[in-house]
Structure 1
Amino acid sequence: MKKLHPIYFSDWRLANGKTHDVALSYQVFGRSLGTAPVVLVNHALTGNSNVSGETGWWNALIGDEKTIDTQRVTVLAFNIPGNGYDDEFDHLIFNYRDFTAKDVAALFWKGLETLHIDTLFAVIGGSLGGGIAWEMAALKPKAIQHLIPVATDWKATDWVIANVLVQDQILNHSSQPIQDARTHAMLLYRTPQSLGLKFKRNKNGDRFDIENWLIHHGVKLQDRFRLASYRLMNHLLRTINIVRAGDAFLDTAARIESSIHLIAVDSDLFFIPSETRQTYEVLSVVKPNVFYHEIKSVHGHDAFLIEYEQLAQILSPIFEPLKVNTHVTTY
C-alpha cells in the first residue's frame, strides 16, 4: 500500500511565467522528519517515490543497515508532479511543454520548505532525477552538503535532446505510444554488448528473444504508466540546464558549495561518460570538493539500477560517517 503524503500548491508560477495548480506527493523512509539528517532521493523517468522497502526500486541501497541506512537518516522522496503515481487523474499534467527541470527543482525546494527542511545532507538521483538534483543545487547552492548526480549531466546534450524528440514524436503519433516509445528507449538504456550477452540471437518460435524482451518491456510500462506522464517526463530531460542566461557553466557551478560526487557509467549510451569527465576536469580546477567515479558495466545507462555493489562502494564513504554521528547537521 502506498504511503503517500500530499502537498498542494495553487497558482504555482513556472519559469515561463504561466501559473499551474500542482500536486506534490512524497514518501518518508527511516527516521522521522526532524530527528536525523535528510537524504533526498530523486527518481528517474518512469520511477516514483517508492525508493525503499520490499518493492522499492533502490532497496538494494536504501534500508536498515544498508548503504543509505534508514536507521540513521531520514530518506525523503518526492514524486515529480504529473508522474501519475498517486493515481489521481486530475493531477496529471497535459501542458507538458510548459514545465522544465528547473520548475521541478523549485517545487521540490518549496515542498521541503513546507516540511520545515532548509538543508539536506545529500541529494542523490539517477538520470532525470540526477539532472533535477543539479538544478536544485544551482537554485540553492549552500543548502546541500553532498550532491550526487548519477548517470546524468548538468545539461541536456544534443544527443539527449535528439532522442527526446524521437520519443516525443512516437508518444504523439504512434497508435500504441507508450509501448513503442519504451521499446525505443530500452535501446538507449542498454548496450549492444549487454543485449548480445543476454540473448545470443536465441529464438522462441518465430520471434527472437530480444524482440520478445522489448515487447514485454513496452507492454509492462503501458500497463502501469500514463501517456501524459511519459510525455512530461520525457520532455523534462531536454530542459536540464543549470546555466542561466548570461552565465557560463563555471559561474553557476563554482557557486555550489556542496561536495559534488559525479558518478558516470563507462558504457552509458544516453548520458555519455565523456561529458561527465569533462565536467569534472573543468570544475575541479576551481572547486576542490568535486569527485569523479565511474561504474564499470556492460549494461549501459541502466547500470545505476543494476550494479548495486559498485554503487555501494562509491557511496559508502559519503554515508559511513552517519553511522557514527547521527545528529541533525547544519552547515
Structure 2
Amino acid sequence: MSDLLYIPIKDYVTHNGSCIKTINLSYQLFGNPLHTAPIVLVNHALTGNSNVAGKDGWWSSLIGDDKVINTKDFTVLVFNIPGNGYDGQLFNNYKDFVTTDIAKLFLQGLKHLKIEKLYATIGASLGGGLAWEMVALQPNITKYLIPIAADWKSTDWLIANCRIQEQFLENSKQPIHDARMHAMLCYRSPQSFKHKFNRSTNEDLQLFNVESWLLHHGKKLQGRFQLSAYKLMNQLLKTINIERDNDDITSVFKAIKGKIHLITIDSDVFFTSDETEETYSTLKSLGVDVHLNIIESYHGHDAFLIEYEKLNAILKPIFS
C-alpha cells in the first residue's frame, strides 16, 4: 500500500456558499512516479477509498502490475473524497456539499500536482458521476472518460433511494446498519438474490438466508464506516448533475474533447442501463466520440466489483 499524501486547500467556498477553512485533500499514487508515465485518475465509489491496488486494494483485480490498468505502464492517482473518513477527515454538515464541489476540489488537486492532462478518468457508481462532473467543468482534462455503472445526473429513482437512505441515517437507532441493508437491495438485483439464495433458510438463526446476508452486510459496514461519512457520500450520490449551472445539457456534451466509453450493466436497478443508453444516443447525435458497452450480468449494480473478466475485456483496448 502506498502512503497517503496531502494537498491543503484553504478557504474553499462550496456551491451553496459555505466556507470551509481547510480541506486536506488526500491521495495515493500507484505505479510509476508522477510525470514519468501517462496518468490514470480513479474515482472511488460510495464506501470506497484511495487504496485501489496491491494486497488490500479494493479494485486490485483491475489495477496493478500486469493487470488491465498496468502500473508498470501508468501512474495511477486516486483522491479520497474529502469527508469519506479514510484519512481521518470528517465534516459535520453534509449538506454543505454537492458533487460539483468534489469535482472542483479534485481539479484543484490536479492543478497543485501540475497535471494538465490525464490519460484516463475512470470511476464506478458515485465515482463515475464524479468523473462526469470533472469533464463538465474542464472538458479537456482527460483523453478518455470512462464512467462505469454511472450517469451524468441523479435520476428521480436514485434521488428517491438516497432520500430513504437519509431517513435511516437521521432516524434509525442503528443508522449505518439499517441504511446498508436497504442499499444492498439497490446494489444487487432480484435475479441475483434468486440465484444466490433461492428461498433457502438458516435453521440456526431461524431466518431466510437472504435476511441473514442483509444483517451481515449491515453489521460489517457499521464496523468500518462512520456516520458523518455515510451521510456525506449519500448526499453526493443524490446531487450528481452536470446540468446544474448550464441551461442546455447539449452544450456541455459538445464541449467534451475526450473519448467517452460508457459501461453499463443490464440488470443495474440503481444507474439503469436505459438511462445510459439514452445518454449514449444523445452524445452520438451530437457527434461526440462515444462508445457504449453493456455488461450482461444478473449481479446488478455491484457487477462492476464482480464481473472482472467482462470488465477487463472492455477496458483492455483502451489501456493497451
TM-score bin (small chain): over 0.9
Q: Is the 8 A contact 2:246 2:252 kept in 1?
A: no
Listed one character per residue, the Cα deviations across residues 153-196 of structure 1 (whole Å, up to 9, x for unaligned) are: 10000000000100000000000000000000000000111011
Correspondence for 1:122: 120
How many angstroms does 1:27 deviate by? Answer: 0.6
Equivalent in the alignment of 1:7: 7
Q: Does 1:221 align with 2:204?
A: no
Partner of 1:269, secondary structure, is: coil
What residue in structure 1 maps to residue 182 of structure 2? 184
Equivalent in the alignment of 1:297:
297
Give the drift of 1:245.
3.6
Counterpart secondary structure, 1:254:
helix
Query: Any conservation in 1 of the 2:254–2:288 contact (CA below 8 Å)?
Result: no
Partner of 1:44: 45
Asked if the contact 2:253/2:288 (under 8 Å) is kept, the reply is: no
Q: Deviations over 1:53-99 (max 9, x none)?
A: 0111111110111100000000000100000001x2xx201111110
SS in 2 for 1:224: coil
| Structure 2, unpaired ranges of 5+ | none
Q: Which amino acid aligns with 1:63?
A: G
Deviation string, structure 1 residues 139-164 (Cα, Å, up to 9, x no partner): 11011100000001100000000001
Give identity over the alignment, percent: 56
Task: Give the whole-Å Cα distance in 1 for the aligned partners of 2:287 and 2:242.
Answer: 17
Taking the TM superposition and a 5 Å limit, the aligned residue runs for 1:118-157 are 118-157=116-155
- Aligned match of 2:93: 95
- Structure-2 residue corresponding to 1:172: 170
**1:52, 1:233 → 2: CA distance?**
22
- Tell me the residue number matched to 2:17: 17
1:56 aligned onto 2:54: no
Once the two structures are TM-superposed, the CA of residue 127 in structure 1 deviates from its matched residue by 0.3
When the two structures are superposed, what TM-score results if normalisation uses the length of structure 1?
0.94
Task: Report which stretch shifted further, 242-251 or 109-118.
Answer: 242-251
Take 2:23 and 2:177, find their aligned partners in 1: how far apart are those partners? Answer: 27
1:237 corresponding residue in structure 2: 237
Q: Which amino acid aligns with 1:228?
A: S
> Does the CA contact (< 8 Å) of 2:2 and 2:29 recur in 1?
no
Q: How does 1:203-218 map to 2 (within 5 A)?
A: 203-205=201-203, 206-218=206-218
What CA distance in whole angstroms lies between the structure 2 residues aligned with 1:221 and 1:163? 18
Which residue is equivalent to 2:316?
316
3-state SS of paired residue (1:184): helix
Q: Which residue of 2 aligns with 1:324?
A: none
1:209 corresponds to which letter in structure 2? N
- Secondary structure of the residue aligned to 1:33 is coil
Structure 1 residue 204 displacement after superposition: 1.4
Moved over 6 A (4+): none
**Equivalent residue for 1:198?**
196
- Tell me the CA shift for residue 249 of structure 1: 1.4
- Give 1:105's aligned residue: 103
Q: Which amino acid aligns with 1:224?
A: R
Structure 1 distance, partners of 2:90, 2:245, is: 30
238-247 or 152-161, larger mean C-alpha shift: 238-247
Indicate the residue corresponding to 2:27 in structure 1: 26
> What letter corresponds to residue 159 of structure 1 in structure 2?
W
**CA displacement at 1:200 relative to structure 2:** 1.5
* Alignment partners' CA distance in 1, 2:254 and 2:242: 12
Distance 1:225 1:60 in 2: 23
- Inter-partner Cα distance in structure 2 for 1:233 and 1:171: 12
- Superposed displacement of residue 244, structure 1: 3.4
Amino acid aligned to 1:36: A
TM-superposed CA distance for 1:17, in Å, is 2.1
Tell me by how many angstroms 1:246 deviates.
Answer: 4.5
CA distance change for structure 1 residues 122 and 308 in 2, over 3 Å: closer, same or farther?
Answer: same
SS at match of 1:284: helix
Deviations 1:190-223 (A, max 9, x none): 0111011111211112011111111110110000
Q: CA–CA distance in 2 between the matches of 1:271 and 1:287?
A: 24
> Aligned with 2:243: secondary structure?
coil
Secondary structure, in 3 states, of the residue corresponding to 2:143?
strand
TM score, norm. by length of structure 2: 0.97
Give 1:118 deviation, angstroms: 1.4
